[in-house]
Structure 1
Amino acid sequence: MTNRTDIYLSIAYLIGLTFACTLLVGIGVASLSSVLGFSILESKSALMYSMLWSSIGIFLLPLLFHPKGRQLLRQATPRRLYREMREIFCSPFSLLLLFAVAGGMVAASTSLSFVSEWLIGILPSSWGIDIEDTVSQQIKELLQSGWGSRLLEFVVICLTPALVEELFFRGTMQSLFIAADRHRPLLAIGVTSVIFSLVHLSLVGFLSRLTIGFVLGYSYHYTSRIGIPILLHLINNFVAWQLLIYSA
């Protein structure tokens, strides 16, 4: 990519690929429900595997067909990610800083979720809350089945989204936006964070995910290590998962 036009075309191509993969995932989930003869929300295993397929299909699959995505996947090898994370865990200061940032991020996002619920609650229409409450309640009911499948839950709810979403949003999309305007990286981080939050289709969680996205984006921009936002994202997901289990 030699100029800004090429970069914007690359961004458009990434968005187009994502829409196509999202459609493919939707067709796959609908077909699965048709074959099974019941909604996937009625079966814990079906829901878990559907969530896993959705995460991989929507965020990882497009990268396999995008030049920047393929370049990132060649660089972000398991060995490199392991080396980055080992450096963090072998340094008490880095580890302390990581958990301090993660704690602040979780606290801020939780506070903003409460603010969002209050703001939406005073509006005439509460459809956003209704949608979120319905889905969350169904997942909570499925989480009450015991500890037999907690490993699957961890992989689907915590690990996979942290890995594929960071490769997609921070590693690929944010990098493209920054390449388009290197003098305003914070703007690129902000735009990516807005898209990251919108993709989750949650009115209640928009502000909290926007904050999370900005912290993750800045951590990647500052360190140039994709393992950092992956770890932060993983910690956030783990806390949310544990709270969901506790509330269930």
Structure 2
Amino acid sequence: MLYTSDFNTTDSQLLTGATMDYGDLDAVVMESTYANEDHSERSELEKRFVESATEVVEKGGIVLVPAFGVGRSQEMACILTAHHFEYPIVLDGMAREASRIIMNYKEFLRDPKLFMNAMHSVEWVEGWRDRRKALKTPSVIISTAGMLKGGPAAFYVSKIGKKANNAIFLVSYQIPGTPGRELLDRGICTIDGKVRKIKALYEHFEFSSHCGASQLKEALRKLGGKPKVFVVHGDEGNCELFANWAKSELGLNAVAPKTGDTFEV
């Protein structure tokens, strides 16, 4: 039996894509977060992100990159390093401690040398003096929290958001009701109970840790045996959509179970 959890078969700068070579299976529990859409081609997305960041910094601005502390922050630092970004990169928030831990297990990464180069290239924020200093220099600031719900990123957005020559590049999914989603939808951000109109450029770059629709389908095609498929972790419509595709196209016994449903394998 295979339980996929969240997975992506595409290599990132940080991690090798998931393999689907598990031999013959009786059952698979599979996510379906993006069962109805595909992502942008990864290399093109990286190129666009770095070019956009470079343009802002070269005009004297600061780019805030709110990112999850584990994985996404390190990925963004690796992307900038891999593309030879020539300007300061600042790392703040829980991403600092997570990065220190990952450095002790770098052999599990796709390119340990790239990761270590990135970690040695970034400027590590160690306190408020460093934060205030970071706001005086054109740079990219990578900081938690990824949805702007807290952490140093909330402080940074209250400062960086005031100037039109700055930018806020969101690189994670933004759940409805979060300050990050509010920014994307309405151009405002509620920080510490205060609604702030954001003058800075803001843009969403979808560096997803999930497979897109085409990858989900290809992953299921590659599985051995004729497993029963349980489609989970998606909007109800996505779960049903993918289960129906697996039945009609692959001839598999596929279901989108409801909470509390019981099955025998």
TM-score in terms of structure 2 length: 0.26
Higher helix share: 1
